[in-house]
Structure 1
Amino acid sequence: MVLLDIHQLCVRLVTRAGMVEANSNINLHIRQDERVGLIGETGCGKSILGHALVGLLPENAVATGKIIYNGRNLLTQPEAVLQKIRGRDIAMIFQDPRSSLNPVLTVYQQLMEIYRYRLSVPRKQIRAKTVRLLEQVGIDAQRMDDYPHQFSGGMLQRVMIAMAIAFQPPVLVADEITKGLDRPVKWKIVDLIREVTADSSMLLITHDLTVARALCDRIAVMYAGEIVEINRTESLFNTPAHPYTRGLISALPASGLHPIAGQAPGLTGLPHGCRFHPRCAVRERICSRRHPQLRPLGNDHYLRCS
């Protein structure tokens, strides 16, 4: 069953440098109890998509299309409705917990606010809920009165995960949850995410292909604001079809660290035709003139390539 359905989503940012095409005609769905990865180079529009799902786009954003959840288009809902959905139905784990947490409030105070805002229960019950929540993510409850600066990066990420799962939302949006963590800590966070999403769905936004492969059932590949390939995880890694997907996998250490030539285009000056063609090793003449559509190939496989 499809839990979240993104249809023809376009997000444009009005800036002094011009109109930024952050997301272009995004079509993607997330099924119940499914983890979907969204991978691509920095600046391709992944995080903007995640923010669109929870209704936290910047003021200079213009969004069109549909994000359907429980029969409602989230893009047309008033803020009062989104506030009820955010956290309970769709929650986000933000990247860089050091900048997401309030440095002058203890971890308990910040977790308590989540419950106090939504539950009319005595403070004693809220404290008990907070203790159980911290224990669920592997943090000793004795540390809940500590401040963010007293925690390591990995422990702060656990705090962010605790905030996101406080009400056991059906959908989690996880944005670069392992960014900046060393290898042992990264894989502990991966194990924790696997555990807390066992009965929920997730969109994992990451540039780390190894993390996406370890966690996700399907993966969508984004380039220059649009999705160029979607496939089941092992099929995507074993038989990548889009030249960009092949380039990403070839750049992995296990594949010999072969980088993709050139640089991704800025989202204010996108190339005509296929957006990847200036960097593509197998491009043809038509690639600079015709913009390919994302077409279904069967078995959960979609491809944008001529």
Structure 2
Amino acid sequence: MFWMSNATELLNFFQVKAEAMERDWEFEAPGDPVLSADLDTCSEALAQLDDVIMHTFQQCVYHLTKTLYSLLPALLDNNPFSSLEKEKERDEEGEDVSSLPPTVAGLVEVYRCSLMLSREACLSPPLTSQTFGYLFFFTNTSLLNTLLERGERAGVILGSKVRDGLFSWSRAVQIRTNLDLVLDWLQGAGLGDIASEFLKKLSVTVNFLCVPKTRLIQSSWASLQEDHALLSPTQLHHLLTHYKLGPARAPPTSWAPPPGTELSGGKTREGRSWESWRVIM
């Protein structure tokens, strides 16, 4: 992150110098071969610095997302209302994220440390926004893909109880609470707008699963698609097909998509590569 910050400062400095040289070349010494060669050299150097910034950005987000990846499932799996989690919360009092339950504390700590590093490195506001934009982009796609992939599974047996699957109202409320805890912290840290923008699709999906079952079974495909427009037809169909209505209870016919609806061969995954992510200084 320090390299990215320093390279950005150098790039901005040399861009100003190069623009001044270009003005001199145009108005004072047009056609000067020496100045023309200097401008070519500057252009090459600026391109190299641009590559350094992109490379350091990729390395930063690679290592940060690698850490995030192992922490994200807790947001889907852990119950923020359980007495066990409340007990752990009291035990961890005094840490930087002590006001948060352990379900999300580890995840928020990564964001907190990243923000602290960006400030220590004096990273420019645009680069800070883009770094966190990618972290939230990764968070959104990783959690959404995991939710869609695991949601169709049946509930699991925990002791003498059966825990509902992810595509159920009870689990969705827990996920929504965990997500809101993270978003509230990010809002307080000044990252709320960026987080809300990039976590929008995950939020919409969880909101869909939080719709009370009695209301959901009375809804039609058209109304659900209108209310959750960010979901692709394939994703909405996947959610409805595997939603846990109860033992041996089939989905209502009103949930069926109209004939001719393009379902993309059942592909529900979101992309999460930085290949098309270009850093803008």
What TM-score do you get using the length of structure 1 for normalisation? 0.28
Larger radius of gyration: 2
Q: Which has the higher helix share?
A: 2
Q: Which has the higher strand share?
A: 1
What TM-score do you get using the length of structure 2 for normalisation? 0.30
